[in-house]
């Protein structure tokens, strides 16, 4: 404002032309004459900043029309903006009724509708995998938690079930107190020790099999499977039919061992054990040849469970980096965050032709690091064999 006042004082000096004053202050003559006219009209007050808001809102809703819309909504609380607008236009076509979106905003301001909260999208896309055909025993195992239920003591029971998809052999049916990763992993260790390793493990996208906010939605359990040479295979979210055989098994399990439920976890486990023996060795299965019991079609895997995790091996031409405790690696002093579930493991970096570094974990490509933008671009997929 002080600069504008100096401009006015210079303009009032008759010895200097207004055009020269405007050039000195770096403004056009039009702007100069505008400020001079304002000063002559109202004095120093005119030199302050004015609001840039329009004096009149071009699309402002007429209060009378707004009142009619609100009244109609209250009379028909289940009608949405489009239906309200259609009714009003049908009964009063002459009035300039606003768009449905404007009616929706009016109803929201009046507290007559509540906007739905949008569900936050997952941070990472899942690892895309096609459904593997179970052509033989131990090609595909399926795992799932049957819906939890309360025992007689009031505590919750979470049954974790593990099936061989080809033979429908029930590998594990265990009552767990939660869906925590460490309890599930202990159960898989016992199954792998007894039956060997499968090629594929198919699950849904729930905990602990998947982790929505992790790279490729791969949690600690899935990455452990990859380290063992097992491919995690997640079904499409909200599509349990892709694991239909396992879902159908849960219906049978529920009918046999949860009506009624046991009082304690140990008693419920005894019921599961009895059912598992009958299901595998005595109960005919309609989908097997001659309706044989599953045990007659199953044999353990030729791939034994290793006592130690096999080392991560990468081609000699690649650079190897250890993932730090926070889930990141460093490239030329620049941190690249991957996943906290990879902490302590090695990943490889391979320079590509388009100035990107491809980052790989075991048989999995995690994505690429752009050397120009210094950004990691997730793109989780399997290494082509």
**Same domain flag for 144 and 286:** yes
How much of the chain, in percent, has pLDDT values that exceed 90? 54
Give me the mean pLDDT over the 281-286 stretch. Answer: 90
Question: Which comes out higher in pLDDT, residue 59 or 261?
Answer: 261
Asked whether residue 325 is domain-assigned, the answer is yes
Question: Minimum mean pLDDT among 39-43, 322-326, 380-384: which range?
Answer: 39-43
State residue 45's pLDDT score.
64
Asked whether residue 330 is domain-assigned, the answer is yes
**Same domain flag for 209 and 152:** yes
We report the CATH number of the domain holding residue 193 as 3.30.420.10
Residue-range definition of the domain harbouring residue 71 = 63-109
**Same domain flag for 245 and 174:** yes
Unique residue bearing structure tokens 């980052």: 359
**Same domain flag for 263 and 204:** yes
Q: Is 52 exposed, middle or buried (0-12, 13-18, 19+ CB in 10 A)?
A: exposed
**Same domain flag for 333 and 253:** no
Compute, in degrees rounded to 10, the torsion defined by CA atoms 284, 287, 292, 293. Answer: -60
State residue 58's pLDDT score.
53
**Same domain flag for 207 and 96:** no
Question: Which comes out higher in pLDDT, residue 79 or 225?
Answer: 225
Give me the mean pLDDT over the 133-157 stretch. Answer: 94
Asked whether residue 124 is domain-assigned, the answer is no
- The count of domains in the chain is 4
Give me the mean pLDDT over the 17-42 stretch. Answer: 82
Is the confidence at residue 56, as pLDDT, over 60?
A: no
Give me the mean pLDDT over the 244-264 stretch. Answer: 90
State residue 121's pLDDT score.
46
**Same domain flag for 345 and 230:** no
3-state secondary structure of 150: strand
Asked whether residue 130 is domain-assigned, the answer is no
**Same domain flag for 78 and 152:** no
Asked whether residue 168 is domain-assigned, the answer is yes
Over the stretch 164-209, which tens digit does the pLDDT of each residue have?
Answer: 999 999 999 999 999 999 999 999 999 999 999 999 999 999 999 9
Is the confidence at residue 101, as pLDDT, over 70?
A: yes
Asked whether residue 181 is domain-assigned, the answer is yes
Asked whether residue 284 is domain-assigned, the answer is yes
Q: In the chain, how many H helices and how many E strands?
A: 10, 13
We report the CATH number of the domain holding residue 97 as 1.10.10
**Same domain flag for 144 and 293:** yes
**Same domain flag for 41 and 187:** no
**Same domain flag for 224 and 329:** no
CB 162 within 8 A of CB 191: yes
- The per-residue pLDDT of the chain, averaged, comes to 88
Q: Which helix (H) or strand (E) holds 53?
A: none
CB neighbours of 327 closer than 8 A, spacing ≥ 6? 337, 338, 339, 340, 341, 342, 343
**Same domain flag for 334 and 276:** no
State residue 49's pLDDT score.
67
Question: What whole-number distance in Å separates Cα of residue 69 and Cα of residue 53?
Answer: 27
Asked whether residue 359 is domain-assigned, the answer is yes
Is the confidence at residue 96, as pLDDT, over 70?
A: yes
């Amino acid at each position: 404002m002080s600069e504008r006042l100096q401009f006015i004082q210079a303009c009032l000096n008759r010895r200097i032309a207004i055009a020269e004053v405007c050039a000195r202050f770096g403004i056009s003559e039009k702007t100069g004459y505008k400020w001079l006219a304002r000063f002559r009209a109202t004095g120093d007050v005119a030199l302050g900043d004015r609001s840039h808001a329009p004096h009149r809102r071009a699309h402002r809703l007429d209060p009378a029309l707004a009142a009619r819309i609100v009244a109609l909504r209250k009379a028909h609380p289940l009608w949405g903006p489009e239906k309200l607008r259609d009714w009003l236009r049908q009964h009063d076509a002459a009035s300039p009724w606003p768009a449905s979106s404007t009616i929706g905003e009016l109803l929201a301001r009046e507290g007559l509708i509540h906007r739905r909260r949008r569900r936050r999208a997952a941070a990472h896309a899942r690892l895309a995998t096609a459904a593997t055909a179970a052509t033989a025993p131990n090609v595909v195992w399926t795992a799932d938690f049957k819906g939890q239920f309360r025992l007689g003591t009031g505590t919750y029971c979470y049954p974790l079930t593990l099936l061989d998809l080809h033979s429908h052999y029930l590998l594990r049916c265990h009552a767990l107190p939660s869906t925590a990763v460490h309890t599930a992993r202990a159960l898989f260790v016992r199954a792998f020790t007894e039956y060997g390793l499968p090629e594929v493990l198919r699950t849904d996208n729930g905990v602990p099999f998947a982790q929505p906010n992790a790279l490729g939605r791969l949690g600690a359990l899935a990455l452990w499977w990859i380290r063992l040479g097992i491919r995690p295979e997640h079904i499409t979210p909200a599509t349990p039919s892709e694991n239909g055989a396992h879902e159908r098994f849960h219906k049978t399990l529920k009918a046999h061992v949860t009506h009624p439920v046991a009082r304690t976890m140990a008693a419920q486990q005894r019921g599961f054990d009895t059912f598992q023996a009958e299901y595998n060795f005595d109960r005919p299965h309609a989908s097997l040849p001659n309706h044989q019991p599953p045990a007659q079609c199953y044999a353990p895997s030729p791939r034994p469970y290793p006592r130690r995790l096999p080392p991560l091996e990468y081609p000699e031409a690649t650079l190897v980096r250890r993932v730090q405790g926070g889930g990141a690696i460093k490239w030329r002093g620049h941190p690249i965050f991957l996943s906290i579930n990879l902490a302590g493991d090695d990943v490889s970096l391979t320079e590509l032709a388009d100035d990107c570094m491809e980052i790989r974990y075991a048989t999995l490509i995690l994505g690429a690091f752009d050397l120009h933008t210094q950004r990691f671009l997730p793109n989780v997929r399997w290494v082509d064999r």
